[in-house]
């Protein structure tokens, strides 16, 4: 089996090699122009964000399996793969703690206003103070706040554990437009109106694309914090910007954008705000999580090879 790994630089740790006999070809990255030539003789493709559609399947007549080193599979035309008999495999739950830690770190930064306090040190405000400390910015304690989690998978569950350890009340928010509210959940509207922090962990689909726009954000509790470590297109960036600028939102943390990497003139890159944290899709990226995603991806390849040798 000829295995081709198209994007090795998307991981900071090397992939282990399959145990079954194979030929291995690895590229640090692959452009659209390079793609067809590189996959022409591949039996198994290992990818992260490279897009595979009908044209790519036609260019890879030997292809039998696509293994993603990721959970999301929206970059692969799964219907076309099924029609061709190509197995598509992803990796789930490889690092829920990593993403949840990042979300919790953002919540702490924004509730304790760490970036703003640091700015007051460097602009001379602390040095000019009459007293030993500053009381410029109001802060709330986490044990007086409610976290709402939209998306009840492993990451949301891990974040709930972290938040409860800090004394936060935690609620799970039902999907928008749900005909009934599941046991242990609050309605979407109740979550918007009552949660001090809302963290997004839901998939991107036709129902959730652009969900947090002007209308939904306007229904959020004044001063609430919005955290998105899921998919960038869940939120509308102009709406986020407007809500922060009028102080309806108390803070925003985005680890994902709609285009990655974003152009320099992307709204969330070119605009800065002291209560807006933007990080480069790195919530998942602890070394242990990256090792896990590689180990699980190659485990799936080994299982496929064992079944098809």
pLDDT digits (tens, 9 = 90+) for 113-134: 999 999 999 999 999 999 999 9
- Model-wide pTM > 0.85: yes
* Other CB atoms within 10 A of residue 194 CB: 16
Residues of the chain with CATH 3.40.50.720: 2-93+287-308, 96-278
- Residues with catalytic roles: 231, 260, 281
DSSP code, position 184: T
CATH superfamily of 96-278: NAD(P)-binding Rossmann-like Domain (3.40.50.720)
Q: What is the SS3 assignment for 213?
A: coil
8 A C-beta contact, residue 95 and residue 289: yes
């492993």: which residue's tokens?
154
- Residue 252 — pLDDT band, cuts 50, 70, 90? very high
Cα separation, 7 vs 16, whole angstroms: 14
Residue 126, pLDDT score: 95
Cα separation, 241 vs 195, whole angstroms: 20
DSSP-assigned states of every residue in 261-299: SPPTT-HHHH---TTEEE--S-TT--HHHHHHHHHHHHH
- Residue 308 — pLDDT band, cuts 50, 70, 90? confident
For residue 309, is pLDDT > 90?
Answer: no
CATH superfamily of 2-93+287-308: NAD(P)-binding Rossmann-like Domain (3.40.50.720)
């Amino acid at each position: 089996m000829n295995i081709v790994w198209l994007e090795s630089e998307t991981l900071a740790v090397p992939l282990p090699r399959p145990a079954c006999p194979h030929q291995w070809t690895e590229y640090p990255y692959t452009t659209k122009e390079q793609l067809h030539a590189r996959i022409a003789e591949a039996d198994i493709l290992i990818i992260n964000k490279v897009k595979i559609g009908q044209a790519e399947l036609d260019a890879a007549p030997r292809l039998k399996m696509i293994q993603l080193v990721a959970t999301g599979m929206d970059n692969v035309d799964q219907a076309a793969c099924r029609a061709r008999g190509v197995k598509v495999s992803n990796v789930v739950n490889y690092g829920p703690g990593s993403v949840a830690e990042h979300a919790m770190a953002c919540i702490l930064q924004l509730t304790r206003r760490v970036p703003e306090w640091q700015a007051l040190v460097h602009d001379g405000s602390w040095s000019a103070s009459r007293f030993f400390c500053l009381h410029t910015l109001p802060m709330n304690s986490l044990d007086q706040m409610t976290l709402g989690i939209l998306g009840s998978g492993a990451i949301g569950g891990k974040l709930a554990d972290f938040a409860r350890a800090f004394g936060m009340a935690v609620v799970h928010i039902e999907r928008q437009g749900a005909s009934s509210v599941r046991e242990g959940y609050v309605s979407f509207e109740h979550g918007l109106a009552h949660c001090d922090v809302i963290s997004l962990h839901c998939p991107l689909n036709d129902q959730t694309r652009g969900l947090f726009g002007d209308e939904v954000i306007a229904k959020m509790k004044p001063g609430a914090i919005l955290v998105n470590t899921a998919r960038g297109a869940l939120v509308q960036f102009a709406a986020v910007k407007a809500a922060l600028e009028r102080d309806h939102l108390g803070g925003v943390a985005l680890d994902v954008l709609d285009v990655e990497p974003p152009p320099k003139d992307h709204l969330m890159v070119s605009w800065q705000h002291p209560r807006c944290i933007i990080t480069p899709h790195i919530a998942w990226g602890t070394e242990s999580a990256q090792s896990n995603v590689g180990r699980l991806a190659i485990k799936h390849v080994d299982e496929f090879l064992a079944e098809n040798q």
